[in-house]
Amino acid sequence: MISPLRFPTVLHREVAELAGDFFSAHASVDTILVVNSCARGRAVAGSDLDLAVLIMPTAARQEVQSLTALWQESMATHPLIHRFRSTGRFTQVHVDVFDGRMVPTVWDDGGGPDSFEVEIGNRLAYAAPLHEAGAYFRQLRSQWLPYYGEDLRASRLAMVREECARDLDAIPFYLNRGLYFQAFDRLYKAFQEFLQALFVARRTYPLAYNKWIREQVTEWLSLPKLYEQLPPILSVRNIQGPELGEKADALRTLLERWICPEPHGHETAQPCAAPNGGPATQLGNSAVREGPPSVS
């Protein structure tokens, strides 16, 4: 029986059931997950339907490609999918097949931000099983939740913080050469790295670094005063003036204040912040609660 998810329309639910029937027929599939806005009850009629299909790690690598290709082929002319897509210009069905391997990357100069924490958050912490959660999905949640190990967290926090500072250092160099758009690109990159470091410092998996920023910072991390300082960082009236340098200085101040390199710095945790930003998704056949999960 399908979980009582809060789909925005009947059509969203029907397409989810269609995908569930399709992927459930394959033995290598462990759990079919509803992800992003539909998983947390924030989708609207024009929202995408985003699904993630978890297959067993013993499945051959070609099976990921094969399952994806079979789905795309069978859905290319399906009338229900066509009707769903015709409801809005941006309404699509997105299905990602993955094997549950979460591998952190080590950035070289210019790397970051990456999607490591975002992937764990959206596929494990905030996803909602369409049907009953499989054993492998439960194993992954036990492995990665409420947060990954302290040694990995400390190393990733240092890496992200260093790269954010490096990008901020590069902005005056580009400004002096008249490369204003490159300077702005570095500012936006550093802004996302700041958010990544903020979540790592607080042991909280994010949804994204370019969406739902107010909700994540204000509600999940309980930092409304910090959020008030974020929109002005990217509000630039004259890209060729001194503003970009001033914005970089402002972001550097936030980085030094809020992202402490020490594991137990005075602002690395807030006593009122709920773990992972909100209530965890209930598994099995119980009702799915509206905890944070999404990107779309």
Q: Please check the confidence at residue 269 and state whether its pLDDT lies above 60.
A: no
User: Residue 35 pairs with which residues in a beta bridge?
Assistant: 50
pLDDT tens-place string over residues 169-196: 999 999 999 999 999 999 999 999 999 9
pLDDT at 286: 31
Which has the minimum average pLDDT: 16-20, 92-96, 108-112, 274-278? 274-278
Exposure string of 29-58, with b = 16+ CB inside 10 Å and e = fewer, is bbbbbbbbbbbbbbbeeebbbbbbbbbeee
Sign of CA dihedral 208, 52, 155, 146: positive
**Does residue 74 or residue 175 have the better pLDDT?**
175
Q: Please check the confidence at residue 277 and state whether its pLDDT lies above 60.
A: no
- Between strands 93-98 and 49-55, the pairing is parallel
Q: Structure pTM?
A: 0.85
Average pLDDT estimate for 211-229: 97
The number of angstroms, rounded, from the C-alpha of 281 to the middle of its chain's C-alpha atoms is 16
Neighbours of 292 (CB within 10 A): 27
Average pLDDT estimate for 13-25: 95
pLDDT tens-place string over residues 227-239: 999 999 999 999 9
pLDDT at 111: 86
pLDDT at 261: 64
**Does residue 228 or residue 74 have the better pLDDT?**
228
Q: Please check the confidence at residue 53 and state whether its pLDDT lies above 70.
A: yes
